[in-house]
Amino acid sequence: MKLTVKKSAVKGEGIARIHEAVLDNLTIHSGENIVVSSDTKSILVTVFGDTLIGKNDVRLRENDMKKLGVKKGDYINVKNYRKISDATKEEIKRFGKKLNLKGKIIKARDVIFGWKS
């Protein structure tokens, strides 16, 4: 989802605020991580819902704006971040389930972890 950058008055980094309705639309809960992306960079931040922020805006800390190379009024993309659980990783390791991709047999763990068999 494309949102307009607003600068937070609070110093620091790693926190974003967006309207609660936008959180619901993205199926994200307050306190979860999201990926915030400019044209050239992406960062992971913790998001909190706030009804005082416009539905088309995202409020970022100054350090996060610098990392992304954006300024007030620029557009950035926001999307939910889903991490593979440790339990899922362990299951993949334990069973080493095989996949057949275009005649090549590979193990699922190789795809997820970038390992070579």
Domain that holds residue 44: 2-80
Are residues 54 and 28 located together in one domain of the fold? yes
Strand partners, 100: 105
Which pLDDT tens digit goes with each residue over 15-54? 999 999 999 998 899 999 999 999 999 999 999 999 999 9
DSSP H helix total and E strand total for the chain: 4, 8
Are residues 75 and 92 located together in one domain of the fold? no
| Structural domains in the chain (count) | 2
Distance CA 117, CA 114 (A): 10
Return the number of other C-beta atoms located less than 10 Å from residue 114's C-beta.
7
Are residues 66 and 88 located together in one domain of the fold? no
Residue (of 63, 57, 62, 73) closest to 20 by Cα position: 57
Which pLDDT tens digit goes with each residue over 78-94? 998 877 677 776 766 66
Are residues 43 and 71 located together in one domain of the fold? yes
